[in-house]
Amino acid sequence: MTIDLKNPSIAGFHPDPSVVRVGEDYYVACSTFEYLPGIPVFHSRDLSTWTLIGHVAERVGQLAVEQVPTGGGAWAPTIRYHDGTFWIAITDALGRNTMLFSATDPAGPWSDGVPVEGINGIDPDLAWDEDGTCYMTYSALRLVGDELGTHHGIEQVRIDPHAAKALEEPRSMWSGTGLMFPEAPHLYQRDGWWYLMIAEGGTERGHSVSIARSSRPDGPFEGNPANPILSARSTSRPVQNTGHGDLVRTPDGEWVMVLLGMRTTGGTRAFSPMGRETFSTHVTWVDGWPTAEPVILTAPASGSFEDTFDEAELGGEWIAVRRLPAEVADLTERPGHLVLHGDGTDMSSSRPQFVGFRQAHHRMRWAADVDATAGTGGLTLRYDEAHHYDIEVGDGIIVARGHLASLQQTWCTPAPAPEAPLTLWIETVPVQFSGFENMGSDTVRLGYDGPDGPVALAELDGRYLSAEVTASFTGRVLGVYARDGLIAVDTVRYDGRDD
């Protein structure tokens, strides 16, 4: 029976997925870049419905993201299971570099992580042969040393995963069909062949998946004459940038590829507000080679989320920038409230007093009841510290702010009741293409609830908070922040749907 896949499989900023099956259970891990907790792990029984069960990096020091520039941090995990242990190999870019984490339970806790000695690259993969030899295959983008920034294709070494060290000098591997930036290698064994699958063409519109095979895990590899086996480039498909795939086989013998893609919007489909998300597609084998079906966007989805902060800890959906949410958010100072203390920084800081979660739908409303009688703060729609839209209250004034690189504009109005909590909200409304005056992705409204109903203080063009404009590898994150003093949030509500 063919599996009924849902796309996006994991909505919102969840790039670079890797998948493993253990028995009847499937697990996916994704990149998180500068956000913590890092490297979410999802579980499924049907490859369609995915549930967050934990994170790999839930403690200070597991990832060295505290000072990384935007785009650094946790890149491209590979999750595998071998001999009773779950392993994750990942690049902690500009931090601890190539890392290995292990756990007996994929929900955690995971080990503190160990840098792998002798590896200078990104996107590490793990594979074991019948003799128990472990191979690490990776994209040889140099992150340290004299060749910083140069790329040497795909490389491989045998490693001792328990000692976290390479056992030989790196060897060059098959590196694709000649398209730019070969990356995301994964090594598999099937029917007497070893297959090396990679992404190439860059993670932009030319992204694609190609594959080669060999009788040995260390090559030499012969490329598939039909490469690439998956790409959306130069097509009208609503999901573009499809690539960075990982294969998994079901107990019934079906094959599925889990991969990243982007839901593009706008008159020329030029903007991706949610950034890179996780998708999946069916794979069939013909004459010893796999063929992936195009990624199909399923029926419009909807979802809601509410948090009244009655629990002792924030749920796993909450993330923070270059620090853990528990370092910023306090749930005990005022029971039933999320309390943030400002330190004079705002959302343009690399380490704001902020906690948030991923936007997952094109049309959404995000609202919170904010008590700013003892401080200044509010809600934000963040792509990175250089690109964010904020609605803020403090000192009896409501401020809407659009911050785009070196440009900033603000709108101000008196608060209707300065000594009382105020409901702030952010809405996104997709643009309906009706001519060249409507070529963007969506409209972002920043507002508040006044005595006579909702008031939109500002309407901003959403295209500027998209992956293509910001050039960030993440996606939109909604959150609450404090700039000065104390901010207490009673309830947050998110309602979203895709048209």
What is the rounded distance in angstroms from the CA atom of residue 378 to the CA atom of residue 399?
9
Positive or negative, the Cα torsion across 152, 230, 242, 305? Answer: negative
101: phi > 0 → left, psi -120 to 50 → alpha, else beta; which?
beta
Pairing verdict, β 239-249 and 387-394: unpaired
95: Cα separation from own chain's centroid = 18
H/E run at residue 467: helix 467-470
Q: Measured between alpha carbons, how far apart are the two ends of the chain, in Å?
A: 30
Spell out a b/e string for 14-46, using b for 16 or more CB atoms within 10 Å of the CB, else e. bbbbbbbbeeeebbbbbbbbbbbbbbbbbbbee
β-sheet with 85-93: strand ranges across? 73-82, 85-93, 97-103, 114-115
Asked if 200 contacts 180 with a C-beta cutoff of 8 angstroms, the reply is yes
Return the number of other C-beta atoms located less than 10 Å from residue 2's C-beta: 7
| 346: annotated active-site residue | no
Which residue in the list 155, 183, 371, 392 is annotated as catalytic?
183
Positive or negative, the Cα torsion across 321, 324, 327, 331? Answer: positive
Number of H helices, E strands in the chain: 1, 35
What is the rounded distance in angstroms from the CA atom of residue 90 to the CA atom of residue 98?
6
What is the rounded distance in angstroms from the CA atom of residue 170 to the CA atom of residue 136?
10
| 183: annotated active-site residue | yes
Return the active site residues.
16, 183
